[in-house]
Structure formats: C-alpha cells, structure tokens
C-alpha cells in the first residue's frame, strides 16, 4: 500500500511539473505562430489525448493469453505486450490519466490562447466548447474500437516499444563492451 501511495504522489508531481513546463512553453510558441499552425498544434494535442485514451482502454481489455501464444512462437513484440497487459493498471493510469488529462488541460489552455490571439469575440466564446466537444467525441468514438481490437492495438504499441528498446538499449550494451 505504501508503494502505491508513493507511485501516486510521483504521478501527481510529474503531472504538475510536465504541465507547468509544457503550458508555459506552449503559450509563448502559440503566440508567435500563425493561426494555421496554432490550430494545427491544438488539433495534434487533442489527437494525442484521444490516442492515449484508446491505448489506455485497450490495455485493460486486452487478453494476456493471446500474447503468450505469440511469445511461444517468438513473435517480435509479444513479450512487450505481455508486460503491458500485466501492468494494465499502471499503463492505463499513465495513458488515460497522465497523458490524457494533461492533453485535455493543455488543449483547453491552447484553445484559449489561439482564440485570444485571433481576437475574435465569437471564437473566444466558442473555443472551449469546441475543444471539449472534439476531445470527448474523439474519446467516445475510440472506446468501441479500443475494446473490440484491444489485442491488435496493444500488439502495435508493444512493437513500437520493443523496436525502441532494441534500438536504444542494445546500442548501450554494445558501447559497454
């Protein structure tokens, strides 16, 4: 139980620091960009939130047995998928709560900056509901496929993680030799 509380406090502190860093940097960046690129960055942040929500939902509904069968056949990424599913609670917390909530908060703040920069009173009023609607609707649309194709989604994520691990961790092992 003590370990769980420590993990929660670590997540809370990380969320605060990451959001503080990103929101300050983003505000300055958006103010200096053209409206087109500001909106493009805003939409990208919304899509990141939706994507991580899909991954977080998929990892909870994925079947570990599928990946054990793949691991028995030595299929690339299967062991990473097993690790993700075994730690489904932590992975879902990271994806849905840490990344998803930061993306949601950040997109709201970015929407306000973009609307204010454009200086149109109608946009200022409409931006928050528009950002919320896109985020909530996108996450709602992603839930069905996340559940239906959970194993496929988690396998794709696991392959990306396995690829990343192969490139960066093997490179470090070679350098030590």
Integer angstrom CA distances of residue 5 from 17, 115, 163: 18, 39, 32
Length of the chain: 177
Within the chain, what is the greatest distance between any pair of CA atoms?
Answer: 63
In tens digits, what is the pLDDT along the chain, a chain of 177 residues? 787 788 788 878 887 888 788 777 777 788 788 888 989 999 999 999 999 999 999 999 999 999 999 999 999 999 999 999 999 999 999 999 889 888 988 898 889 888 888 888 888 889 989 999 999 999 999 999 999 999 999 999 999 999 999 888 765 554 443
pTM for the model stands at: 0.83
Burial string for 90-99 (b: 16+ CB within 10 Å, else e) reads ebbbbbbebb
């Amino acid at each position: 139980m003590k370990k769980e509380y420590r993990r929660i406090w670590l997540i809370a502190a990380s969320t605060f620091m990451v959001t503080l860093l990103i929101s300050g940097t983003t505000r300055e960046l958006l103010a200096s960009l053209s409206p087109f690129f500001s909106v493009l960055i805003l939409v990208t942040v919304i899509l990141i939130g939706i994507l991580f929500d899909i991954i977080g939902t998929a990892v909870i509904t994925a079947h570990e047995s599928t990946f054990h069968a793949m691991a028995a056949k030595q299929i690339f990424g299967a062991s990473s998928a097993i690790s993700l599913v075994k730690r489904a609670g932590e992975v879902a917390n990271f994806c849905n709560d840490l990344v998803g909530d930061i993306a949601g908060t950040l997109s709201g703040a970015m929407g306000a900056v973009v609307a204010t920069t454009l200086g149109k009173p109608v946009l200022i009023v409409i931006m928050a509901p528009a950002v919320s609607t896109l985020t909530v609707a996108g996450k709602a649309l992603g839930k069905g496929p996340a559940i239906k194709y959970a194993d496929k989604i988690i396998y794709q994520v696991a392959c990306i993680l396995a690829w990343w691990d192969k490139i960066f961790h093997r490179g470090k092992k070679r350098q030590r030799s």
